[in-house]
Structure 1
């Protein structure tokens, strides 16, 4: 079967919605349905349906006085997320490379998205036995070091809303699925400043992670070291890996403007 060009997969309605959003630029802060219809060369009814859809998701909002439309807060959130993530990646990459040179284990930077973490970047070890890179993968936060170290600083109310409403899935015999037990461990994480994944997501894999903060002191991600459990002994974790990941988190946070 011949491979199709990506342009053949374009959804026209989505393309029109993005065209609409792009009309708000430079000094153009508000536009009405008629003007948008002219600019987009679409019927007013189609423009109104696009606006209604975008407004329902807070990408567009209506000025109740002029009845014109303007960009909503969701577009600002997306822009800020992009800026933060790009800054995070740029500042963390050299630190990840330094970590690998120090311990020769695979290192990651991850962010929290809803109930999961997403690995944004990885620097691999050159050892034959290693953890498979998971950049872009969505993994449950409650059984990963990078996830636990981010949700550990949530308030009880935030954590209650955050944790899955259904029973937490058990991935290995070590997965913490009891809420009270998890909360107790998270309190310990918040106090010590790091979290450990003790074969809780994958049998044979351990990980240690520490939080990354920005200039507002908010946690925006985590740095972690991951590897086979046979190399992540309790002694090595205590004497080498935990101090290294804490130093890495402090370095990246400092680069992003955080000061204790």
Structure 2
């Protein structure tokens, strides 16, 4: 009877989630793990776990050496196939649409142009409200005075940041624009500590934005999700809008939160 219960459970959605968690666990532990350690890490009884492991071994998704389970050749082939289909704007588009619908504000996906040292919008969904934050696909802007730019800069290498801070022309675009290099350095540290940045009228009068990072599979930043709105509207709804952007960025990062 116990075997029948395990087999029935192994074919359901819970088992699929267990297999994915198993593959992720073993990807983080390339030397392999014994059944007992896998059982503890996943919180699954060993008898139940074996029902998932056996077919994966047979199909070469896992290999067994002594007592250790490791990822097998088909797991790596699957990873390569998935990686070849990786398309950042297409992958994030659904999350952006959901964020735009939830907040009714303009949202975008921004990436860093390393050579020009500016951000570029590679996807934009504008709010349908009569008064809104205007965004255009392909639009670029400075890193030092914008939410998306500051987030993208904050997760670059120390050498890149140092060179940018030393050489960038920090021009005052509004009376709220920071042009102090030491302050910019502290702001970048704050981004890394909080996982977001809120910009209030720093680049455009009466406009505001909140941005959070999107990380790739290797933990490196790929992009920033940014939401823009008139300053008074963002300030009035700051907590809810900030939480929505951070949640969306975490989902787009595959559950990897910035902090």
Normalised to the residue count of structure 1, the TM-score between the two structures is: 0.62
Tell me if structure 1 keeps the 8 A contact 2:112–2:223. Answer: yes
Corresponding residue for residue 129 of structure 2: 127
Corresponding residue for residue 102 of structure 2: 102
Q: Distance in 1 between matches of 2:168 and 2:90?
A: 37
Counting matched residue pairs gives: 174
Greater shift in the superposed pair: 119-128 or 206-215 = 119-128
User: Are residues 1:147 and 2:149 paired?
Assistant: yes
Tell me if structure 2 keeps the 8 A contact 1:110–1:146. Answer: yes
Instruction: Give the secondary structure class of the aligned counterpart of 1:143.
Output: coil
Corresponding residue for residue 237 of structure 1: 238
Tell me if structure 1 keeps the 8 A contact 2:106–2:134. Answer: no
Instruction: Give the secondary structure class of the aligned counterpart of 1:147.
Output: helix
The 1:223/1:85 distance shift into structure 2, 3 A limit, reads farther
5+ residue gaps, structure 2: 1-82
Tell me if structure 1 keeps the 8 A contact 2:200–2:209. Answer: yes
Moved over 3 A (4+): 83-86
Residue from 136, 139, 145 that aligns with 1:137:
139
Partner deviation per Cα, 1:132-152 (whole Å, 9 max, x = no partner)? 222101200111111111111
The 1:158/1:231 distance shift into structure 2, 3 A limit, reads same
Shift in Å, 1:157: 2.8
Q: Distance in 1 between matches of 2:132 and 2:230?
A: 6
The 1:174/1:259 distance shift into structure 2, 3 A limit, reads closer
5+ residue gaps, structure 1: 1-82
Residue from 176, 179, 182 that aligns with 2:181:
179
Instruction: Give the secondary structure class of the aligned counterpart of 1:93.
Output: helix
Partner deviation per Cα, 1:29-54 (whole Å, 9 max, x = no partner)? xxxxxxxxxxxxxxxxxxxxxxxxxx
Partner deviation per Cα, 1:44-94 (whole Å, 9 max, x = no partner)? xxxxxxxxxxxxxxxxxxxxxxxxxxxxxxxxxxxxxxx999711011111
Tell me if structure 1 keeps the 8 A contact 2:165–2:185. Answer: no
